Amino acid sequence: MANFTLFILEYSVKESLLECEQKWINLIKPDYNLYPTAGNCKGYKHTEETIIKLKNLAKEKKSKEVKEAMSLNRKGENNSFFNKKHSNEALNLIKEAALKRINPSKPGLRIKDIEKDSISIYNSIRQAADSINYDIKTLIRREKS
Domain ranges of the chain: 10-44, 46-79, 111-144
Q: What is the pLDDT of residue 2?
A: 63
CA distance 106 to 90: 30
Low-confidence stretches of the chain (pLDDT < 70) are 1-2, 33-34, 43, 104-107, 145
CA distance 34 to 38: 10
Q: What is the pLDDT of residue 88?
A: 95
Residue 111 in 3-state DSSP?
A: strand
35 in Cβ contact with 41 (< 8 Å): yes
Q: What is the pLDDT of residue 93?
A: 95
pTM of the entire structure? Answer: 0.31
82: left (phi over 0), alpha (psi -120 to 50) or beta: beta
Q: What is the pLDDT of residue 1?
A: 53
75 in Cβ contact with 67 (< 8 Å): no
Alpha-helix residue ranges (DSSP H) falling in 36-75: 48-61, 64-73
Q: What is the pLDDT of residue 94?
A: 93
Q: What is the pLDDT of residue 145?
A: 66
- Residue 37: DSSP 8-state: S
Q: What is the pLDDT of residue 57?
A: 82
Q: What is the pLDDT of residue 87?
A: 94
Q: What is the pLDDT of residue 112?
A: 79
